[in-house]
Structure 1
Amino acid sequence: MRILRRGRRRGAVAVIGAAIAIAAWTHAGPDFAYSGETVAVAAPEASGDIASLLDQVTVVDRVDQVPGYERSCKKGKGCVFGPAWNDPTDRSGCDTRQRILSRDLRDITYKGGTRNCKVLAGWLQDPYSGERVDLSDVEIDHVVALHHVWNAGAWQWDSRKRQIFANDPIELRAISSSVNRAKSDSGIDEWLPPDPAARCSFVTQYLTVLVKYDLPITVREKNAAIGACAS
């Protein structure tokens, strides 16, 4: 990961073609390092909330794969973001998945005797596609994929911070299982919501998460963010 700049330069003149950014960076991660020259294509000026968010993030030319990511908490696995849906800061008695379902679904029915902690039925207006789906087709999406977050800097965090991140409501959305599979571990330079009307909102939330946790974006992600919100 090589840092190009923090945010955008206010009032900068758009450059036609490519701007050459020469940087060297020694990776503090496990067992590897690199340095060299990179080419960053000049992006158009951002505007509105996206411009404000982009002013607050570090822009890098790329995010490299860092060994050690294992989401599974089965015996012998890394469990690097902690047990699924277990928020160490929450005292409600409901696991994170059920709290997100309660927040995002409509016409909810709860299992009796669970203090409204177990959702039995409901439906979702998928925020990325606009489709209506029943609870059986709903999954919880990490807006910024956990594998991407690991590579972007979470490998340096302690286990408690990683677990807090994985359960932070700002980083979570209920979405349809089919959309979740399509999104997978993609960044915003690789995947955007199928509904064009949802793209800028998604990008805004994506950047908000990165700003909150001081994580970088790549040049390609920055360009994608600006393009998604251009209208």
Structure 2
Amino acid sequence: MTRRQNWWRRGLAAGAVLALAGCAAIEDATTPEPADGKPSASASGSASTGAGGGGGTAADGTLPGIPTAGQAKEQLAGLEVARHGSMSGYSRAKFPHWSSQGESCDTRETVLERDGTDVERDAQCRAVSGKWTSVYDDKPFTEARDLDIDHMVPLANAWRSGARTWTQDKRKEFANDLTRPQLLAVSASSNRSKGDQGPDEWQPPSKAYWCTYSRAWVSVKASYELSVTEAEKDMLTEMLDTCAS
């Protein structure tokens, strides 16, 4: 009798474990992705332990292809000034992301590793630990799920300033560009506050980042021959003027 009871109890325990695993799998499969394709901000918010391990400096210093202030001013002067084009036909699906970058990694995970410090990944290349500082608002994080990968020049802004005439392959390149200062890891809240707004409509809350932000924005627009509006150009000029001489 005792042996039967022990077997029965072990069966119940195993069944409970399987049930919990099944529930978790169902939840993962049925939880809808946000409409913008970005991970939802964690309800727990940011972790505030430590000083971010230099994450802000990493995100600033590792942005690829960023010009000097002088170079950015020259590039800005050469950009076409035009009103925003139509949003007709726009869809984020026309800018496929995130692309595979090899070794089970995609563009998002590649940027998280680049912009963080002490980043460790699991077998699927997901960042399971690390330290990041969101350069837009100077907030420290230790959970990758609290971060979004921002497109410096938002996809919708690019569409209105020239990308609507591109091929799908070129839009995919733009949305996953790791060779120019187009992608960076920032707080989900700052990224979603920015949305698809240009510099004349939204600026990083941290004014100390205005110089880098404007240099990166101008570089991307120049590289892809995208236009700027008059108001956008005026604000970029103001932001570039914050750069140390």
TM-score by length of 2: 0.66
Q: Higher helix fraction: Structure 1 or Structure 2?
A: 2
**1:201 — aligned with what?**
212
1:101 maps onto 2:112 in alignment: yes
**In structure 2, how many angstroms separate the alpha carbons of the residues matched to 1:174 and 1:91?**
20
Shift >4 Å, 4+ stretches: 90-93
- For 2:74, give the aligned amino acid: S
Report 1:47-66 matches (<5 A). Answer: 48-60=70-82, 62-66=83-87
Shift of 1:91: 4.8
**Is the contact between residue 66 and residue 150 of structure 1 (CA under 8 Å) also seen in structure 2?**
yes
**Is the contact between residue 72 and residue 219 of structure 2 (CA under 8 Å) also seen in structure 1?**
no
**Is the contact between residue 200 and residue 225 of structure 1 (CA under 8 Å) also seen in structure 2?**
no
Say what the alpha-carbon RMSD is for the aligned residues: 1.6
Q: Higher strand fraction: Structure 1 or Structure 2?
A: 1
- For 1:80, give the aligned amino acid: K
**In structure 1, how many angstroms separate the alpha carbons of the residues matched to 2:195 and 2:87?**
18
Segments of structure 1 that go 5 or more residues without pairing to the other structure are 1-46, 72-78
Shift of 1:177: 0.7
Percent identical residues: 34
**In structure 1, how many angstroms separate the alpha carbons of the residues matched to 2:238 and 2:132?**
28
1:130 to 124, 130, 138: 138
**2:236 — aligned with what?**
225
Segments of structure 2 that go 5 or more residues without pairing to the other structure are 1-68
**2:98 — aligned with what?**
85
Shift of 1:95: 0.7
Give the greater-gyration-radius structure (CA). 2
Higher relative contact order (CA 8 A, sep 6+): 2
Shift of 1:229: 2.2
| CA offset digits 1:53-102 (Å, max 9, x no partner) | 21331122x1132311111xxxxxxx2112x2015xx5554211111111
3-state DSSP of counterpart to 1:58: coil
Shift of 1:125: 1.1
3-state DSSP of counterpart to 2:105: coil
**2:151 — aligned with what?**
142
